[in-house]
């Protein structure tokens, strides 16, 4: 029998020789270098491009902004973005309130539907709008016999408002669910009726969430160039101009300046978002807390009917949208009559097979990479508490804050020269998607770690696992669901994203979402609808499988209940950005 002394002697020799320590150092170094190179450097390059004119420091680009033409653009952008985000937030609040006070089954069904309607490539609603209300629209022309014009700011506001309601509702629902329900009880107990309670307690409690939603969507709407280009007509906005400047005029300095302008509202959104998350984290632990639906809480009929009506109208629009898109994919308009056709699907077959394959390829690799790096970043920052890692983690969260257009521009200016010549390759697309979504995996892991006793790692070390062994034997198995959440999020966003990669996808490395955007802007709505349907089908199926898997995990491990909820919140917030 081996004595304890002998085992110890052997172990001591082995650990001196072990290469685990070096491997770990190398991993940390690699993460830090990657984050600096693929996040901080491109951001820095956009800002520097905006203040350098042909190699000379100059603020010409900024002073140009004050020209009457540019001021008009800014005014248009602010007007549209303000209106859509106010409307979107208001309607989302109605939907969220409606769901919050629903019976569990029905509320759950609406929540799931919101999650599904959230997954959709941006601006494809424009197809439905044009099909229904355009010059040859089914309703305006076909039924009413009018030649209406949907192009203009009204169209932009309508589409932006509709497109943000799903995500905004989900964010507000998680905020509502995080209210300590005893506050609501206390308010009633102290004599406030349900309506007073909504205004005096519920609204103030989720105020940070509302502000975060408002500014997030303000940023997204400011940065949205797709909708205005397709549906804006003569109404021009800042982001669309930045896009056109880069795309047709190749004036990257101007585009960089315009996109720098989008940063301040993004920072405000982030500030409120952090505040909100902080509040959720410190929510007092108590005995069993009643859910909204279990509270004996009766809103006046008028309010109830109104929020129910808003929810119903929203889902009616969503059904209409998907219905029309599927219809558009299989029909063609022959002098006002819809006729079934295979043409779009055949055209898709010729034009899209390679692009779709590249999309999948890019999204899967980006999903894997961003999840692994995100989790490792969390581990080294919060578990091992390595010095300076907090700053690195902050840098990693930047792509999550800044508009996609900005991040995409950064990659063009940063990686078009030797030795980092990446333009036109698959690598630049994969890297862009990976680092854009890295903070989702990072935050999911942070939340998971909060619920995992740090003594577990101590125990593993105590029982003889090396530092690197702990990672593989303890950390990764425990973070399976964080990994999945992160992977699905990055995969979905990468499949449907346009904003950040529109300048990076050239004919050599074209992916389907970008190609679809070009087809729709060129009026090939039928073809666009086929691609949109397929992208929706792929991403929704993948998400449904993942949701199923996650809820199964959740049943097995009730302890993780809380962190799944939190992850979900994070996931949706992050999800917003891919849509720019």
Partner 1 sequence: MLLELKGLTKLYDENNGARDLNLQVSEGEFITLLGPSGCGKTTALNLIGGFLRPDRGEIIMEGVPITDLPPEKRPISTVFQSYALFPHLNVLENIAYGIRFYRKVKKKEALNMAYEYIKIVGLEGYEAYKVGNLSGGQQQRVALARAMATKPRILLLDEPLSNLDASLRYRLREELKSLQQKMGITMIFVTHDQSEALSLSDRIVIMDKGDTIQVGTPKEIYFSPKSDYVASFIGKSNIIKGVNGERIIIRPEDIKIDLDDNGEYKIESLTFLGQQTELIISNGDISLEVTALGKDNSNFKTGDRVNATINHQVKI
Residues interacting with partner 1, by CB under 8 A?
180, 182-183, 185-194, 196, 200-201, 204-205, 207, 284-288, 290, 294-296, 298
In the complex, minimum distance from the CB of residue 280 to partner 1, in angstroms, rounded to a whole number: 12
Of 56 and 287, the one with the shorter C-beta distance to partner 1 is 287
In the complex, minimum distance from the CB of residue 198 to partner 1, in angstroms, rounded to a whole number: 13
Rounded CA gap, 75 and 145, in Å?
35
In the complex, minimum distance from the CB of residue 82 to partner 1, in angstroms, rounded to a whole number: 25
Upper half-sphere CA count for residue 282 (Cβ side, 13 Å) = 5
Q: What phi-psi label fits residue 123: left (phi over 0), alpha (psi between -120 and 50 degrees) or beta?
A: left
Of 281 and 522, the one with the shorter C-beta distance to partner 1 is 281
Of 287 and 302, the one with the shorter C-beta distance to partner 1 is 287
Residue 19 tokens, joined: 């290469």
In the complex, minimum distance from the CB of residue 218 to partner 1, in angstroms, rounded to a whole number: 23
In the complex, minimum distance from the CB of residue 217 to partner 1, in angstroms, rounded to a whole number: 23
Of 145 and 191, the one with the shorter C-beta distance to partner 1 is 191
514's CB contacts (< 8 A; 6+ apart) are 498, 501, 502, 505
Q: What is the CA radius of gyration of the chain?
A: 25
In the complex, minimum distance from the CB of residue 466 to partner 1, in angstroms, rounded to a whole number: 41
In the complex, minimum distance from the CB of residue 286 to partner 1, in angstroms, rounded to a whole number: 5
Q: Which of 278, 141, 118, 285 is nearest to 209 (CA)?
A: 278
In the complex, minimum distance from the CB of residue 304 to partner 1, in angstroms, rounded to a whole number: 15
Of 5 and 288, the one with the shorter C-beta distance to partner 1 is 288
User: Do the beta carbons of residue 363 and residue 488 sit within 8 Å?
Assistant: no
Residue 135 tokens, joined: 């010059």
Helix (H, G, I), strand (E, B) or coil at 203: helix
Beta bridge mates, 56: 53
In the complex, minimum distance from the CB of residue 104 to partner 1, in angstroms, rounded to a whole number: 13
The dihedral built from the CA positions of residue 121, 402, 159 and 131, taken in this order, carries a sign that is negative
Of 203 and 339, the one with the shorter C-beta distance to partner 1 is 203
Neighbour count for residue 416 (Cβ, 10 Å): 14
Of 24 and 180, the one with the shorter C-beta distance to partner 1 is 180
Query: Which residue bears the tokens 């903070």?
Result: 439
Q: What is the 3-state secondary structure (H, E, C) of 291-339?
A: CHHHCCCCCCHHHHHHHHHHHHHHHHHHHHHHHHHHHHHHEEEECCEEE
The dihedral built from the CA positions of residue 113, 115, 120 and 122, taken in this order, carries a sign that is positive
Of 14 and 200, the one with the shorter C-beta distance to partner 1 is 200
In the complex, minimum distance from the CB of residue 298 to partner 1, in angstroms, rounded to a whole number: 7
Rounded CA gap, 500 and 514, in Å?
10
Of 12 and 288, the one with the shorter C-beta distance to partner 1 is 288
Rounded CA gap, 238 and 258, in Å?
7
Rounded CA gap, 398 and 437, in Å?
10
Distance from the first to the final alpha carbon of the chain? 66
Of 13 and 290, the one with the shorter C-beta distance to partner 1 is 290
Rounded CA gap, 499 and 409, in Å?
10
Per-state percent for the chain, helix, strand, coil, to nearest 5: 75, 0, 20
Of 248 and 296, the one with the shorter C-beta distance to partner 1 is 296
In the complex, minimum distance from the CB of residue 234 to partner 1, in angstroms, rounded to a whole number: 45
Rounded CA gap, 201 and 332, in Å?
53
Q: Which of 472, 470, 466, 473 is nearest to 19 (CA)?
A: 466
User: Do the beta carbons of residue 560 and residue 448 sit within 8 Å?
Assistant: yes
In the complex, minimum distance from the CB of residue 194 to partner 1, in angstroms, rounded to a whole number: 8
Of 95 and 211, the one with the shorter C-beta distance to partner 1 is 211
Rounded CA gap, 419 and 165, in Å?
44
Of 186 and 319, the one with the shorter C-beta distance to partner 1 is 186
In the complex, minimum distance from the CB of residue 103 to partner 1, in angstroms, rounded to a whole number: 14
Rounded CA gap, 298 and 49, in Å?
57
């Amino acid at each position: 029998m081996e004595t304890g002394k002998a085992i110890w002697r052997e172990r001591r020799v082995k650990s001196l020789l072990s290469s685990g320590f070096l491997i770990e150092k190398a991993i940390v170094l690699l993460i830090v270098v990657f984050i600096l190179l693929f996040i901080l450097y491109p951001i820095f390059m956009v800002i520097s491009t905006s203040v350098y004119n042909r190699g000379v420091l100059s603020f010409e680009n900024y002073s140009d902004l004050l020209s009457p033409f540019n001021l008009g653009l800014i005014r248009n952008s602010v007007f549209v973005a303000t209106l859509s985000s106010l409307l979107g937030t208001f309607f989302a609040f109605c939907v969220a309130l409606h769901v919050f006070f629903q019976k569990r089954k029905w509320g759950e069904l609406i929540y799931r539907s919101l999650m599904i309607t959230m997954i959709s490539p941006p601006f494809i609603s424009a197809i439905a709008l044009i099909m229904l209300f355009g010059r040859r629209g089914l309703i305006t022309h076909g039924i009413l016999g009018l030649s209406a014009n949907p192009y203009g700011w009204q169209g932009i506001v309508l589409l932006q408002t509709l497109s943000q309601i799903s995500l905004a509702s989900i964010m507000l629902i998680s905020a509502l669910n995080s209210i300590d329900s005893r506050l609501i009880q206390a308010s009633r107990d102290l004599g406030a009726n349900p309506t007073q309670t909504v205004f005096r307690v519920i609204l103030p409690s989720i105020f940070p969430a509302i502000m975060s939603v408002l500014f997030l969507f303000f940023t997204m709407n400011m940065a949205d160039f797709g909708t205005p280009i397709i549906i804006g007509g003569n109404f021009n906005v800042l982001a669309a101009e930045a896009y056109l400047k880069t795309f047709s005029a190749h004036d990257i300095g101007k585009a960089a300046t315009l996109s720098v302008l989008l940063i301040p509202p993004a920072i405000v959104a982030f500030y409120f978002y952090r505040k909100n998350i902080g509040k959720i984290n410190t929510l007092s632990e108590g005995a069993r807390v009643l859910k909204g639906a279990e509270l004996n809480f009766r809103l006046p009929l008028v309010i109830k009917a109104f929020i129910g009506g808003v929810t119903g109208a929203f889902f009616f629009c969503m059904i209409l949208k998907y219905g029309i898109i599927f219809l558009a994919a299989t029909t063609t308009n022959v002098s006002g009559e819809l006729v079934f056709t295979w043409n779009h699907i055949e055209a898709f077959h010729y034009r899209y097979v390679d692009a779709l394959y590249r999309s999948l390829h890019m999204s899967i690799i980006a999903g894997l990479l961003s999840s692994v790096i995100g989790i490792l970043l969390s581990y080294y920052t919060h578990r091992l508490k390595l010095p300076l890692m907090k700053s690195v983690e902050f840098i990693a969260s930047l792509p999550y804050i800044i508009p996609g257009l900005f991040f995409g521009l950064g990659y063009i200016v940063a990686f078009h020269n030797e030795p980092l010549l990446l333009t036109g390759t698959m690598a630049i697309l994969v890297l862009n998607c990976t680092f854009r979504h890295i903070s989702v995996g990072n935050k999911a892991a942070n939340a998971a770690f909060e619920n995992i006793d740090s003594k577990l790692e101590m125990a593993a070390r105590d029982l003889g696992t090396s530092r690197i062994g702990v990672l593989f034997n303890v950390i990764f198995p425990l973070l399976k669901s964080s990994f999945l959440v992160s992977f699905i999020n990055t995969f979905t966003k990468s499949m449907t994203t346009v904003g950040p990669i529109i300048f990076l996808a050239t004919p050599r490395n074209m992916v389907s979402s970008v190609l679809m955007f070009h087809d729709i802007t060129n009026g090939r709505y039928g073809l666009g609808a086929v691609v949109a349907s397929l992208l929706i089908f792929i991403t929704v199926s993948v998400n449904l499988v993942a949701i199923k898997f996650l809820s199964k995990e959740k049943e097995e491990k009730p302890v993780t209940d809380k962190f799944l909820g939190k992850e979900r919140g994070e996931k949706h917030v992050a999800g917003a950005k891919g849509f720019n």
